[in-house]
């Protein structure tokens, strides 16, 4: 172990080195029960010695200094002469004129076998004093006026603590982060409770906007920036960054003022705002009484995009609005408020049915966790809608995740492995909601053959909704039939648009509405649905649409966890995002607003350009320092404590097992009041029960399958506690098991012994798991990306102080590097986030997406416009021969869709031309086994999942 320093002066350098440690000695003891003797290990007293070191020149090299004082201490403590410690001094080249100094404590003991002493040294601590040093600058990070890049010293296989001018090593690097405080002005905080804003919002909103303006006039003023530039010695790059920050603040202030103006000028919008507050108050169930200031700020800043949502010329719908706030900062409730407001606005401006917002999540656990919150908000909004007598369809929610989680459809004559309407167990197997969104009572599942619906029903006789099926749809075909107000689901489902004609309801209007009771909307006619109805075997007449066809398109597309759209997933989704925009513009003369939330901001401008071909705009704007903005300041209240551990002489698994054992033992001692632990801690019985509830479950987070397998097996053999109940949350965990585990975590058993004690989790858990009881985590190695580290550890300490142990794999360069800079890594995490690798200009990606893009045009645009079925090769060939489509037209349309306009796109346009011409050659001379147009694409048909990026190989016996 050692310390790396940067001397501040020319040599010679003279300083003191003090080493402290303990050793273990085996001593013989008499065994009374029998004859002879035995041996036991005892730990020595703390051994400490100091020596002076002199380095006379700066020439790179090394010297070793024997530590004779320690040899004597060892001999006295162990009666063995072979223990020794050496101080190694290395002068290493650096980028400056002076070398770096590395001062190490080396165990040079030569303990022979059978000697009664352990050759290792324990609880080693090295102190270095009387050396004037300069700080290092974090490499790879640019200068920033918000952050301090200075690092006093680096530890080698240890942490370093600076105490005045001295340095000492530590086995544990501890970093605390404070909980954010959401109002820190001297003036009174505006009343942002739901009730106040539902009744008379304008005075309080004006107070908020005024406070924002006055704060910025001081903190972002030219004088204040000039003063800081002088005091902190800003470089020109830092001055430019500060000016960009000031401009971002001014734009934010303009948007807030514009939002106020919209409310004053538009009575309908004001009413929507007030109704939203009524709905959110009902949805909160008394858990919280109002908004945080940044949440209202976000709503105000985005009101402009709702005012003229039917106007295709409205430029305010163009930028991607990115909601960026510290994870756990109530982002979900923030954008949920905007979606509810948009739903009210749709109803009050003539949109009586159809999808208002499509909310998409990269991982299924995200959508599952968020669904209950969405359902509660939608249910509350529906009750407000009915109370206000607002017409139109019931506000409803769709859960759109596909066959891996919920059925795509339910057939009358089901095949093995598919949902069977006659199976009494089938409905319960597809339960998603765990509580009634109207009253929090339990849920009963059933299948209604009359309306052909898989129904969630409230189990309470006193529920305000009664015994009707809840306005919640989980089967794909039901979502197509009823077009819920808000659809929440996984990112992958967008691929369905290339082979499912009923996806038309997500980008435009259905073909009509079925006359059958509760049958819902109809789409393209097919052999099994001659009138386009999604209810099996329905042949009832189709009625015309009840409203303007152009109003059916969604007003908002919401993308949660934007930073996860990277690599091949992001590149493929970029093409499908262009497809959605293109289809909606063609069917509805409208461009939806895109709202996104992200845990990081690194590279957001490029990411938005690649994904959406739009600019990205962040709210809230960053403040003038890393810990303070108008919207928040880091307080002294503990949010999360990070503890970095570099296991030495033990495996990572052994260290994890020991930590879990200690943590679980401590909790159980508190539960049983072992040895009067409650009195020693100064807690009463109720407080002890609360602590057991908050810290009784440990999350073991692994980055590899091997890590997770080991963490699952270890409790069975390595942790001597009974009972110890475990569960896993990974991408391989079956959907019902994920649902049940989350339910047990949120609503634990009364008996501690029956609860879950250890959760083995992977990346799946690092997003969207919002459970207040999870406050302890062991991280087995540093994740491959900093964004994952930020997201995973943010699952801990969301409401109560959290404790995160990070066990570093020191053999890996990344883990060792993070350990050296752990304090900065935690405090400046966003600056360590790697650039997001994503590109839409990829020929390989185009080859994967082409079939889906082209077939989407056929299904969603050409077939509805011509009125003929284009589902077979023969029909499509006839359509081409009749002049309905041509290779030249398709090339132009697809190039427009993908934005292939500039010189950089010439290569990709050429590739697109090859793909189009190949498809038309196949259509002109189809293979003998080609029946459907999807059979004509080379190398394969439309993607069924955005993660379907590998070449598919046939598997045969």
pLDDT higher than 70, residue 34: no
| Of 49, 51, 52, nearest in space to 21 by CA | 49
Q: Which residue has the tokens 């679980």?
A: 664
**Using 50, 70 and 90 to split pLDDT, how confident is the model at 12?**
very high
Establish if 445 belongs to a structural domain.
no
Indicate whether 799 and 735 sit together in one domain. yes
Rounded to 5°, the CA angle 329-763-175 comes to: 55
Indicate whether 208 and 288 sit together in one domain. yes
| Of 577, 368, 401, 414, nearest in space to 490 by CA | 401
Indicate whether 6 and 155 sit together in one domain. yes
Q: What pLDDT, on the 0 to 100 scale, is given for residue 732?
A: 81
Least confident segment among 71-85, 497-511, 880-894: 71-85
CATH number at residue 294: 3.40.50
Per-position b or e across 691-713, b if 16+ CB within 10 A of its CB: bbbbbbbbbbbbbeeebbebbbe
SS3 406: coil
pLDDT in tens, 855-903: 999 999 999 999 889 999 999 999 999 999 999 999 999 999 999 988 8
| Of 651, 565, 572, nearest in space to 606 by CA | 565
pLDDT higher than 60, residue 22: yes
Indicate whether 158 and 12 sit together in one domain. yes
Residue of higher predicted confidence among 508 and 84: 508
Q: Stretch 327-336: mean pLDDT, rounded? A: 80
Stated pTM of the model: 0.90
Indicate whether 784 and 822 sit together in one domain. yes
Please give the Cα distance from 710 to 703 (Å, whole number): 12
Rounded to 5°, the CA angle 640-645-646 comes to: 155
Count the residues in the chain.
957
Helix H or strand E segment including 253: helix 236-265
- Please compute Rg for the chain using Cα positions: 32
Establish if 129 belongs to a structural domain.
yes
Indicate whether 206 and 164 sit together in one domain. no
CATH number at residue 694: 3.40.50.300
Indicate whether 809 and 870 sit together in one domain. no
pLDDT in tens, 189-222: 999 999 999 999 999 999 999 999 999 999 999 9
CB atoms within 10 A of CB 188: 9
Q: What pLDDT, on the 0 to 100 scale, is given for residue 846?
A: 96
Q: Are strands 85-92 and 100-107 parallel, antiparallel or unpaired?
A: antiparallel
DSSP result, 10-69: PSPEEEEEEEEEE-EEEEEEE-TTSSSEEEEEEEPPPEEEEEEEEE---SSEEEEEE-HH
pLDDT higher than 50, residue 678: yes
| Of 105, 140, 107, nearest in space to 125 by CA | 105
pLDDT higher than 80, residue 434: yes
SS3 672: helix
Q: What pLDDT, on the 0 to 100 scale, is given for residue 32?
A: 56
Establish if 481 belongs to a structural domain.
no
Establish if 455 belongs to a structural domain.
no
Indicate whether 761 and 703 sit together in one domain. yes
Helix H or strand E segment including 588: helix 567-588
Q: What pLDDT, on the 0 to 100 scale, is given for residue 115?
A: 80
Structure tokens at 85: 């410690």
Q: Are strands 166-170 and 159-163 parallel, antiparallel or unpaired?
A: antiparallel
Residue of higher predicted confidence among 357 and 285: 357
Which residues pair with residue 177 across a beta bridge?
A: 640
Helix H or strand E segment including 633: strand 633-645
Contact 239, 277 (CB under 8 A): no
Establish if 914 belongs to a structural domain.
yes
Q: What pLDDT, on the 0 to 100 scale, is given for residue 189?
A: 95
Indicate whether 23 and 163 sit together in one domain. yes
Helix H or strand E segment including 889: helix 887-898
Query: What share of the chain in percent tops pLDDT 70?
Result: 95
Which residues pair with residue 617 across a beta bridge?
A: 321
- Residues with Cβ within 8 Å of 53's Cβ and at least 6 positions away in sequence, in order, are 14, 15, 16, 17, 65, 87, 89, 103
- What sign has the CA pseudo-torsion 464, 465, 466, 472? negative
Indicate whether 159 and 91 sit together in one domain. yes
**Using 50, 70 and 90 to split pLDDT, how confident is the model at 564?**
confident
Q: What pLDDT, on the 0 to 100 scale, is given for residue 948?
A: 62
**Using 50, 70 and 90 to split pLDDT, how confident is the model at 356?**
very high
Indicate whether 333 and 372 sit together in one domain. yes
Domain boundary among 489, 520, 544: 544
CA dihedral (908, 913, 919, 923) in degrees, to 10, reads 170
Catalogue the E-assigned strands of 325-473.
357-361, 397-400, 443-448, 453-458, 472-473
Helices (H), 315-363: 331-348
Indicate whether 809 and 905 sit together in one domain. no
CB atoms within 10 A of CB 612: 22
Q: What pLDDT, on the 0 to 100 scale, is given for residue 957?
A: 40
CB atoms within 10 A of CB 391: 10
pLDDT higher than 90, residue 932: yes
Q: Stretch 671-695: mean pLDDT, rounded? A: 91
Establish if 38 belongs to a structural domain.
yes
Contact 412, 399 (CB under 8 A): no
Q: What pLDDT, on the 0 to 100 scale, is given for residue 951?
A: 45
pLDDT higher than 90, residue 28: no
Q: How many domains does the chain have?
A: 5
Q: What pLDDT, on the 0 to 100 scale, is given for residue 368?
A: 66
Contact 689, 675 (CB under 8 A): no
Establish if 477 belongs to a structural domain.
no
Structure tokens at 947: 């993660």
Structure tokens at 208: 């908020």
**Using 50, 70 and 90 to split pLDDT, how confident is the model at 766?**
confident
SS3 427: helix
Domain of residue 263: give its range: 194-394+555-619
Establish if 472 belongs to a structural domain.
no
Contact 441, 457 (CB under 8 A): no
């Amino acid at each position: 172990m050692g310390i790396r320093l940067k001397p501040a002066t020319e040599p010679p350098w003279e300083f003191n080195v003090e080493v402290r440690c303990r050793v273990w000695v085996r001593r013989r003891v008499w065994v009374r029960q029998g004859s002879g003797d035995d041996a036991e290990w005892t730990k020595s007293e703390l051994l400490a010695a100091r020596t002076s070191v002199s380095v006379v020149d700066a020439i790179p090299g090394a010297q070793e200094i024997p530590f004779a004082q320690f040899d004597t201490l060892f001999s006295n403590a162990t009666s063995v002469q072979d223990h020794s410690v050496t101080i190694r001094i290395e002068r290493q080249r650096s980028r400056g004129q002076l070398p770096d100094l590395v001062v190490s404590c080396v165990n040079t003991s030569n303990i022979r076998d059978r000697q009664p002493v352990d050759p290792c040294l324990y609880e080693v601590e090295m102190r270095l004093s009387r050396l004037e040093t300069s700080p290092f600058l974090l490499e790879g990070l640019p200068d920033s006026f918000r952050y301090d890049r200075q690092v006093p010293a680096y530890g080698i296989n240890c942490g370093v603590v600076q105490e005045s001018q001295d340095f000492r090593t530590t086995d544990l690097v501890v970093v605390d982060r404070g909980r954010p405080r959401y109002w820190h002005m001297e003036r009174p905080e505006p009343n942002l409770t739901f009730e106040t804003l539902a009744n008379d919002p304008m005075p309080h909103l004006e107070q908020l906007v005024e406070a924002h303006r006055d704060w910025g006039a001081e903190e972002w003023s030219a004088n204040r920036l000039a003063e800081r530039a002088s005091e902190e010695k800003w470089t020109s790059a830092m001055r430019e960054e500060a000016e960009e920050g000031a401009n971002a603040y001014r734009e934010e202030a303009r948007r807030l003022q514009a939002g106020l103006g919209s409310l004053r000028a538009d009575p309908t919008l004001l009413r929507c705002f007030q109704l939203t507050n009524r709905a959110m108050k009902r949805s909160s169930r008394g858990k919280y009484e109002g908004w945080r200031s940044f949440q209202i700020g976000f709503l105000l800043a985005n009101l402009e995009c709702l005012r003229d949502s039917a106007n295709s010329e409205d430029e305010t719908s163009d930028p991607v609005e990115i909601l960026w706030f510290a994870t756990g900062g109530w982002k979900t409730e923030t954008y949920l408020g905007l979606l509810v407001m948009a739903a009210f606005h749709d109803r009050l401006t003539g949109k009586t049915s159809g999808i208002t917002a499509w909310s998409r999540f990269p991982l299924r656990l995200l959508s599952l966790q968020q669904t209950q919150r969405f359902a509660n908000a939608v249910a509350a909004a529906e009750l407000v809608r009915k109370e206000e007598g607002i017409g139109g369809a019931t506000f409803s929610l769709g859960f759109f995740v596909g066959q891996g989680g919920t059925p795509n459809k339910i057939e009358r004559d089901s095949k093995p492995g598919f949902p069977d309407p006659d199976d009494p167990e089938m409905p319960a197997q597809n339960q998603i909601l765990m509580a009634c969104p109207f009253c929090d009572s339990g849920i009963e599942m059933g299948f209604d053959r009359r309306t052909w619906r898989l129904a969630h029903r409230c189990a309470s006789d006193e529920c305000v909704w009664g015994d009707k099926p809840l306005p919640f749809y989980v089967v794909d075909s039901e979502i197509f039939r009823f077009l819920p107000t808000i659809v929440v689901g996984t990112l992958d489902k967008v691929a369905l648009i290339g082979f499912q004609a009923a996806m038309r309801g997500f980008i435009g209007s259905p073909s009509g509405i079925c006359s059958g009771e509760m049958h819902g909307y109809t789409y393209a006619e097919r052999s099994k649905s001659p009138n386009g109805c999604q209810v099996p075997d329905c042949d009832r007449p189709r009625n015309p649409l009840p409203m303007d066809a152009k109003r059916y398109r969604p007003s908002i597309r919401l993308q949660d966890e934007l930073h996860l759209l990277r690599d091949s997933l992001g590149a493929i989704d970029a093409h499908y995002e262009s497809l959605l925009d293109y289809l909606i513009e063609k069917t509805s003369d409208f461009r939806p607003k895109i709202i996104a939330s992200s845990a990081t901001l690194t590279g957001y401008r490029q990411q938005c350009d690649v994904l959406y071909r739009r600019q990205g705009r962040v709210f809230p704007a960053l403040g003038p320092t890393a810990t303070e903005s108008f919207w928040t300041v880091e307080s002294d209240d503990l949010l999360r404590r990070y503890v970095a551990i570099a296991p030495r002489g033990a495996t990572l698994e052994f260290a994890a097992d020991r930590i879990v054992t200690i943590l679980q033992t401590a909790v159980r001692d508190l539960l049983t009041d072992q040895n009067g632990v409650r009195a020693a801690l100064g807690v009463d019985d109720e407080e002890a029960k609360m602590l057991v509830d908050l810290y009784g479950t440990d999350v073991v987070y692994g980055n590899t399958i091997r890590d997770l397998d080991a963490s699952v097996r270890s409790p069975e053999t390595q942790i001597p506690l009974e009972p110890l109940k475990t569960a896993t949350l990974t991408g391989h965990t079956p959907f019902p098991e994920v649902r049940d585990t989350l339910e047990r975590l949120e609503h634990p058993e009364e008996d501690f012994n029956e609860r879950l004690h250890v959760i083995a989790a992977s990346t799946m858990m690092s997003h969207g798991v919002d459970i207040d009881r999870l406050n302890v985590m062991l991280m087995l190695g540093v994740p491959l990306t900093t964004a994952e580290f930020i997201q995973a550890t943010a699952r801990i300490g969301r409401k109560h102080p959290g404790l995160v142990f990070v066990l570093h794999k020191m053999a890996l360069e990344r883990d060792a590097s993070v350990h050296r800079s752990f304090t900065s890594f935690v405090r400046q995490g966003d600056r360590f986030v790697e650039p997001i690798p994503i590109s839409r200009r990829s020929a390989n990606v185009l080859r994967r997406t082409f079939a889906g893009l082209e077939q989407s045009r056929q299904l969603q645009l050409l077939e509805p416009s011509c009125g003929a079925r284009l589902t077979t090769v023969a029909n499509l060939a006839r359509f081409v021969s009749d002049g309905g489509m041509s290779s030249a037209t398709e090339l132009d349309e697809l190039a427009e869709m993908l934005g292939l306009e500039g010189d950089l796109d010439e290569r990709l346009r050429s590739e697109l031309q090859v793909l189009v011409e190949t498809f038309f050659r196949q259509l002109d001379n189809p293979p003998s086994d080609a029946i459907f147009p999807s059979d004509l694409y080379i190398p394969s048909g439309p993607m069924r999942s955005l993660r379907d990026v590998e070449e598919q190989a046939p598997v045969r016996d």
